[in-house]
Structure formats: C-alpha cells, structure tokens
Amino acid sequence: MTLFLCSSNAFPFLSLHSDSERSFTSRTLRNVSLFSMAPHQPFSGLVFEPFEELKHELFLIPSMPDQSIARQRFSDDCEAALNQQINVEYNVSYAYHAMFAYFDRDNVALRGFAKFFKESSEAEREHAEKLIEYQNKRGGRVNLNSILMPLSEFNHYEKGDALNAMELALSLEKLTNEKLLNLHDIAVKCNDVHMKNYIENEFLGEQVEAIKKISEYIAQLRLVGNGHGVWHFDQMLLNG
C-alpha cells in the first residue's frame, strides 16, 4: 500500500493557518510515512480483500442440480417450521371454507356470514402461498402435508350458528397467531434476522387486527341474540 503525499499548495483547503496546525500536520505525516515504508504488509482487520474472502463463498455454492443455489444462513429448523406454518394456514383456510359452505345453504341463507368466511378462507390461503414463496426465496424445500377434514355443521342449541361460528373463527385466529409467534421464536433462536423481520412485517400485525375485529363481532352478536338481530348483523357483513 503506497501513500502519495501532496503539498498544501496542490489543495488550497489544506492550507495551515497556525503554528499548532503545522505542528499537528508534521507529526501526522511522520506517522503516515511509517506505513508507507511497508507497502506489502496488510492492515489486519482493516483491509477488505474481496477475492480472498470470495474463495470461501465460491466453495459453498452447490454444484448438484437438486440443491438450492440461493440458500444462505437458512437453517433446517427454520425450513421445517415454515412448512408447518404453511400447513396451519391451509387447514385454517379449509375450516373457513366449510363455514362459507354452511352459511351459503338455502336453508341457512346468511349471505353476509358466507361472504365473511369466504374472504377469510381466501386470506389464509394467500398467507400459505406467501410462506411458500418465502420458503422458495430462501432456498428451502416446500413439503405440503395432509389437511384435516373440518366441521360441516355449526348450529348450536344455545348460541345459534352465527355466534358459534364466529367464536370458532376467533379460536382459529388465536391458534394461528400462537403458531406464528412460535415460528418467530424459531427464527430468533436460529439468528435468522431476515425471517424474523419478514414474519413481523407481513403477518403478526395483521393477525392482531383480525383477532380484535372478530372479538368485536362476538360481543355484538351476544348483544343482539338470535333471530332478527342476527339477520341485521348479516346485512352489515354483506354490505360492509
């Protein structure tokens, strides 16, 4: 490493205005000259040698066609946890779809509830697809597991079908939130900063909002009771 020292005449902004400034500069130049005497000795910890460091990274790039090329600092635990969460999202989506089918029946005919649960089903499926895309982006392998058969009947002799279904929906949202928090904990444990931030930014805030909204729906349904009040609530969901 060779340093070229220029006079203050070449750079007017380096002109010295006092004896103390000239003395400081003189000492600095003498110190710099010590380094210029050994140009072939690198500064340990200060010099970035990209091609030397690249040797290790090039060695890590897989050559087998069945291995991910993009994968970096993505642990097996994070990969497995993402696949579990994908399965959770699909199961919740399937449960919401069963609720949609129930309220869309001709002898139930609560189209607002049918609309709400259909949209909820689509939202959970979109969450699963987002996690699939993220898994692929990080170089993981998506493994889709089986989906459990959900309930198909939601009537309750005390609560009625509307309140019963909405309470089930709240339980599903809280369960999903708990699973997402577990996924976040695994990302923290594995020191995967990108995955931790992704879960925080894309899922956790939305999950809290969904829990709050459904909780308010439950409180309102408990107030209106069965019968005509449920029909008015259904119209609010339909036209909202």
Q: Which residues are annotated as a binding site?
A: 89, 124, 127, 173, 207
- Which residues are within 8 A (CB) of 207 and not within 5 positions of it... i.e. 6 or more apart? 173, 176, 177, 180
CB 21 within 8 A of CB 8: no
Residue 39 to residue 45: CA distance in whole angstroms: 16
Structure tokens at 1: 């490493």
Residue with token string 């087998």: 64
For the four alpha carbons of 197, 202, 205 and 211, in that order, the dihedral sign comes to negative
CB 211 within 8 A of CB 177: yes
Burial 150-183 (b: 16+ CB within 10 A, else e): beeebeeeebbbbbbbbbbbbebbeebbebbeeb
DSSP string, 197-222: HHHIIIIIHHHHHHHHHHHHHHHHHH
CB 116 within 8 A of CB 214: no
| Degrees to nearest 5, angle at CA 59 with 53 and 60 | 100
From the list 60, 55, 82, the residue with the least C-alpha distance to 70 is 60
Q: Which residues are known binding-site members for Fe cation?
A: 89, 124, 127, 173, 207
